[in-house]
């Protein structure tokens, strides 16, 4: 046993080893600490007082045994492995089995005190007529319950903005990166040359402007700019709102913003493909477009997948700035609910947890997706990780 290669945690749980006493003592300590906490209303141990008492003393007993072992170790430092009763294989194995009991008891206490504690607070919060003022957790849960419709609407919008923004951005980035990587070929006629120069120049300028300005500013410009543009047709504000509202403004902003970043990611992927690949394709007579689409791009996009999927995570988080133009996303929901209860901190704690769960789920899904292509995803990133001027 223990000869097999295991992870450090798995080995700690499954193998006989010298840290079983020390490590499980920490677990036992946590259990005793929880046991000394007041019981929540839903606690099931409240009706089994003797059981908890026995558990408490068993945990204490483990600490005593560990303390004895520690003293033995300190006094027999050199010869511990040979002389200590704790180091004998049979004893070590029993200690490991005993440690399972300690963990199980601590787990029961965690459920009883923490899980059922939150559940009890939840019961109180849901039933409360007004916000409980004396208990922080009950207050947060009260806000979450009573603002649930607002939060859910904001959550749906945030997901829509992130998912559709990333997809639209990706499609546009594909088109734009195609313009960006054009180089004039001797075989091109003057018209094609003109198109290539203009296309490449546009892509460069677009990327520089979009990545060089804050998305919040872009959101204001796009939302009010297009609003003003529609106004010139003589439509009334109500009529305009029917076709152009903060949601569309936010979606356009986040899509155009992602386009620039994803284009740079794609360009990086394409440029990391060995130049020889394109040369070999061209030497066979393939055109620039054929070499790109059949040889270079399929390889480049594989390099770009980690960066591209990172953009979804970034959009989940960065869509929060769109609330400034009135896009009803999770951040806007938070501000709205906070305004009702004058509780900025508690409301934002709630959405922080929701954002974190969203990004964790998204990165887990993307990780599975990336594994299909045999690539490893990047850890969480931010748009500020990337340089603004794409030139190397």
Binding residues (CB under 8 A) for other proteins: these are 185-189, 274, 276-277, 279-287, 290, 294-295, 298-299, 302
Query: In the complex with other proteins, which residue's Cβ is closer, 82 or 187?
Result: 187
Report how far apart, in Å, the C-alpha atoms of 312 and of each of 15, 133, 216, 222, 236 are.
41, 38, 18, 21, 36
* Residue 279 C-beta: closest distance to other proteins, Å: 6
Min separation Cβ 370 and other proteins, Å: 17
- In whole angstroms, the minimum distance from the beta carbon of 189 to other proteins comes to 6
Q: Which is nearer to other proteins, 268 or 326 (CB)?
A: 268
Question: 174 or 286: whose CB is closer to other proteins?
Answer: 286
Indicate the residue among 93 and 294 with the shorter CB distance to other proteins. Answer: 294
Closest CB 299 distance from other proteins, rounded Å: 5
Q: Minimum CB separation from other proteins for residue 203, in Å?
A: 23
Residue 136 or residue 185: which is nearer to other proteins going by CB?
185
Nearer to other proteins, 7 or 276 (CB): 276
Kindly state the smallest distance separating residue 300's Cβ from other proteins, in Å.
10
């Amino acid at each position: 046993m223990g000869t097999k290669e295991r992870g450090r945690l798995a080995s700690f749980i499954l193998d006989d080893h010298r840290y079983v006493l020390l490590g499980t003592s920490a677990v036992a300590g946590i259990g005793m600490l929880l046991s000394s906490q007041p019981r929540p209303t839903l606690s099931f141990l409240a009706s089994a007082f003797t059981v908890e008492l026995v558990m408490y003393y068993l945990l204490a007993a483990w600490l005593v045994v560990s303390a004895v072992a520690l003293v033995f170790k300190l006094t027999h430092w050199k010869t511990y492995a040979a002389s200590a009763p704790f180091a004998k294989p049979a004893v070590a194995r029993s200690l490991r089995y005993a440690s399972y009991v300690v963990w199980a008891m601590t787990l029961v206490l965690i459920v009883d005190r923490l899980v059922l504690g939150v559940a009890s607070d939840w019961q109180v919060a849901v039933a409360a007529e007004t916000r409980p003022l004396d208990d922080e957790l009950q207050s947060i849960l009260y806000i979450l319950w009573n603002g649930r419709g607002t939060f859910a609407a904001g959550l749906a919008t945030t997901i829509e903005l992130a998912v559709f923004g990333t997809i639209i951005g990706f499609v546009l980035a594909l088109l734009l990166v195609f313009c960006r990587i054009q180089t004039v070929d001797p075989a091109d006629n003057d018209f094609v040359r003109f198109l290539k120069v203009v296309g490449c120049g546009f892509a460069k300028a677009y990327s520089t402007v979009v990545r060089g300005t804050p998305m919040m500013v872009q959101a204001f410009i796009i939302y009010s700019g297009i609003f003003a543009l529609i106004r010139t047709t003589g439509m009334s504000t109500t009529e305009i709102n029917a076709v152009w509202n903060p949601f569309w403004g936010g979606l356009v902003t986040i899509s155009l913003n992602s386009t620039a970043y994803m284009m740079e990611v794609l360009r990086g992927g394409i440029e990391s493909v060995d130049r020889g690949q394109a040369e070999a394709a061209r030497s066979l007579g393939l055109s620039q477009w054929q070499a790109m689409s059949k040889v270079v791009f399929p390889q480049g996009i594989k390099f770009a997948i980690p960066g591209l999927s990172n953009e979804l995570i970034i959009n989940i988080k960065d869509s929060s700035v769109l609330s400034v133009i009135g896009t009803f996303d999770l951040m806007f929901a938070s501000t709205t609910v906070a305004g009702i209860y004058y509780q900025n901190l508690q409301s934002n704690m709630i959405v922080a947890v929701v954002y974190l769960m969203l990004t964790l789920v998204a990165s887990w899904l993307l990780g599975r997706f990336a594994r299909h292509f045999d690539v490893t995803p990047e850890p969480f990133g931010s748009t500020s990780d990337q340089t603004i001027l794409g030139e190397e």
